[in-house]
Structure 1
Amino acid sequence: MQDGRIFIETINGQFLFKEGGTPAEYSAGLACAVAKHESGTYVKFTPAGAEMFA
């Protein structure tokens, strides 16, 4: 994590193998993030998203 950013390499395996997400779900989430102006190389929690993990 750097400057509040979590690089997607950190969550790839977690999402696909530990949490059981499908490649289609992963691709859809990544496409959504890129469409919302994320770079595709990292994610950042919004304040609302961070509350879910507090």
Structure 2
Amino acid sequence: MKHTEPRPFADPEAAARQLVQLATSIEPVQDGRIHIEKINAPFLFTLKGRGSEFGAGLRYAIEKGWLELHESGTYVRLLKRTCSTADLERRRGNQIE
């Protein structure tokens, strides 16, 4: 008997891929910067992710070299367009409606 539903972003890789997908959908400001709240708010409120899932996903994306977090924590940058990013763009719109 299950008492809870499985969390879609409990896996840090799934959360990281969603964060990269969100980041690719946002027009960067000066020097490729994407303000952290532009990906944080949709992840937490639209997709119903948790803060711990956001943090784990962000760490995973940084470790994989998909995102760079500024030392101030106020913005991120997409680092490179990888196969996984292209894969995400193909599926864009499937998870965010």
Q: Shorter-chain TM-score: which interval?
A: 0.7 to 0.9
Question: Runs of 5+ in structure 1 lacking a partner?
Answer: none
Larger RCO (CA within 8 A; separation ≥ 6): 1
| Aligned positions, number | 52
Shift of 1:43: 3.8
Flag the structure with larger Rg. 2
CA deviation string 1:1-54 (max 9, x = no partner): 13xx67233111111112110011101110001101221213476111100116
Match of 2:60 in 1: 32
Structure 1 residue 21 and structure 2 residue 52: aligned? no
Over the matched positions of the two proteins, sequence identity in percent amounts to 29
Cα RMSD (Å) of the superposition? Answer: 2.3
User: If the length of structure 1 is used for normalisation, what is the TM-score?
Assistant: 0.72
Hey, what's the Cα distance between the residues in 2 that align with 1:16 and 1:9? 10
Displaced runs of 4 or more, over 6 A: none
Give 1 or 2: higher helix fraction.
1
